[in-house]
Structure 1
Amino acid sequence: MSDDRVHTALAEGDQDGTRWAFGTGFEDPLHGVDTSVPEDMDTVALAAQCVALADDALVSAQRLAEWITRAPELEEEVALANIGLDLLGQARLLYARAGRTDGTGRDEDAYAYLRDADDFRNVRLAELPGGDFAFTVVRLLVLSSWRLAHFGQLTGHRDPVLAAVAAKGVKELAYHRQYAAEWTVRLGDGTEESHRRTAEALERIVPYLGELFRAHDVREEVLADLRQVTEAAGLDLPASRPLPENGRDGEHTGHLAPLLTELQSVARAHPGATW
């Protein structure tokens, strides 16, 4: 199977040929956007929505950063780092919007570095340990497909800032999904060992799908994407009953706190420092 035919259907929406989202445009993503809060907007709900989406992105980016110097090839190390930077950019914009709307005036650093695990609202799939490369790309496939579907909905949000962040994010997430889909097919349709590891990654990840769909109702769109990729990879998409815990309610695995300890260590050791 040639790489240029792998999962091309999911890339058809990228009509301008842009594949690498990070660094393709240097204009302020909120340039020209009215950043005032719309009248009659439920600012508490808006801030909570922004924080949850930002937490997903921040935690996912931290897991991807763990592959720097560990990826199987330099090209993949750069790709995963760039995807992580895209997600960090989304997190920064969303945290900044939350601080403006929740009445606290907190900046992005306060959200990222000065909250404990119980205060985070990311989905639990994002915080699971990275495992092997197969797990990383399958998780990226699931999270990017899910986030892309939701951001597509948010491009029509009443809040112009959230709508602008979503519109920018759609282009980035389309590449994330394509990258992960191509690698999932390559591994699933590869050697006996790579097939086994990719199948095991699916088995580990599928129980967390229910939590994603409780957070945002994009089930059919996401499952259609996943079925297309798994069929091309010669894999079965396992059926699973959702786990009862919900990261959106602050219910996390034991893996989030150690991740945040590493992420926040410098900021907490030197409060208020700038560099």
Structure 2
Amino acid sequence: MTTEAATALERDFARCALRLGDDALVLAQRLCTWITRAPTLEEDLALSNIALDLVGHARALLSLSGRLDGTGRTEDELAQLRDGREFRNTLLAELPNGDFAVTIARQLAFSHYARLHYADLAGCAEPELAALAGRAAREVDYHRLHADGWTVRLGLGTEESRRRMQDGLDLVWPYTAELFAADEAVARLDAAGAGPAPARVLERWRRATAETVSRAGLRLPEPGWSADGGREGLHSEEFGALLAEMQSTYRQYPGGAW
């Protein structure tokens, strides 16, 4: 492989890592807002621990992206100094929490996708990304178990909890298609056999989520439309407020250390 080709491959892996890192970072920020607001103390702890896992994934992935893309940007610079149009997270990750059932529906969709895609990505041609993906796949499997458990509990609970869980699924599912979309960088990696496109896990994801929804006695939505644009930097109005809150301390005290 020529140096030029290797550099192009590194840039594509950098974009892949950036997408994944942004998803993890933004979803972690959403989950953090449940702290002190979750239905029980145990859920305060559970959701905050899931958010911490995701922050860990984001730190590693953004740091890797900054090294591979040749800019040398750190994880903090990528997280705290980009504007909204530079973020490549899916709209699903930034979707407002809604009630607890909406959050669980979002977790159900995302954690099943992340577990499957990270497991596939653990065999990619970039050694550090492969190692990160292998670890992340094991961690998000616990996130999946948490989401599965609550989906079934709410679906088989009271009439009100069942209605809310179904409403949550109906709200979230139009945002799921973007998880499996590939930009040019991801498509090139997939075509070269260097890294799998997320679409390779789509059918497995559908079967896994359908099985959980069926156990909950609920209906798997069939969306008539699909949200997109997040991977291209086109985000929702609510994303601006999320980003401002997330970046406020770092921008107020540039160069600060803690």
What TM-score results when the alignment is normalised by the length of structure 1?
Answer: 0.84
Q: 2:240 aligns with which of 251, 257, 264?
A: 257
How many positions carry a matched residue from both structures? 238
1:215-267 Cα offsets, whole Å, 9 max, x none, are 42021011111110110111000111342532111121111111000000000
Of Structure 1 and Structure 2, which has the larger fraction of its residues in helix? 2
**Amino acid across the alignment from 1:148:** R
Residue 120 of structure 1 deviates from its aligned partner by: 0.3
Q: How does 1:1-275 map to 2 (within 5 A)?
A: 39=6, 42-215=9-182, 216-217=198-199, 218-243=201-226, 245-275=228-258
CA distance in 1, matches of 2:225, 2:177: 5
CA distance change for structure 1 residues 40 and 91 in 2, over 3 Å: closer, same or farther? same
Residue 44 of structure 1 deviates from its aligned partner by: 1.4
CA distance in 2, matches of 1:230, 1:243: 20
Structure 2 equivalent of residue 28 of structure 1: none
Work out whether residues 209 and 242 of structure 1, in 8 Å CA contact, stay in contact via their aligned partners in 2: no
Residue 154 of structure 1 deviates from its aligned partner by: 0.4
1:80-126 Cα offsets, whole Å, 9 max, x none, are 10000000000000011111111111100001100111100000011
Work out whether residues 24 and 57 of structure 2, in 8 Å CA contact, stay in contact via their aligned partners in 1: yes
Residue 40 of structure 1 deviates from its aligned partner by: 6.2
**Amino acid across the alignment from 2:217:** G
Residue 149 of structure 1 deviates from its aligned partner by: 1.0
> Aligned to 1:157, what secondary structure does the other structure show?
coil
1:48-74 Cα offsets, whole Å, 9 max, x none, are 111110000000000110010001111
CA distance in 1, matches of 2:8, 2:127: 11
Work out whether residues 207 and 241 of structure 1, in 8 Å CA contact, stay in contact via their aligned partners in 2: yes
CA distance in 2, matches of 1:222, 1:163: 20
> Aligned to 2:222, what secondary structure does the other structure show?
coil
CA distance in 2, matches of 1:190, 1:220: 29
Work out whether residues 175 and 228 of structure 2, in 8 Å CA contact, stay in contact via their aligned partners in 1: no
CA distance in 2, matches of 1:244, 1:229: 23
1:17-49 Cα offsets, whole Å, 9 max, x none, are xxxxxxxxxxxxxxxxxxxxx956612111111
What TM-score results when the alignment is normalised by the length of structure 2?
Answer: 0.89
Structure 2 equivalent of residue 7 of structure 1: none
Work out whether residues 109 and 209 of structure 2, in 8 Å CA contact, stay in contact via their aligned partners in 1: yes
Where structure 2 has 5 or more consecutive residues not aligned to the other structure, the ranges are 183-197
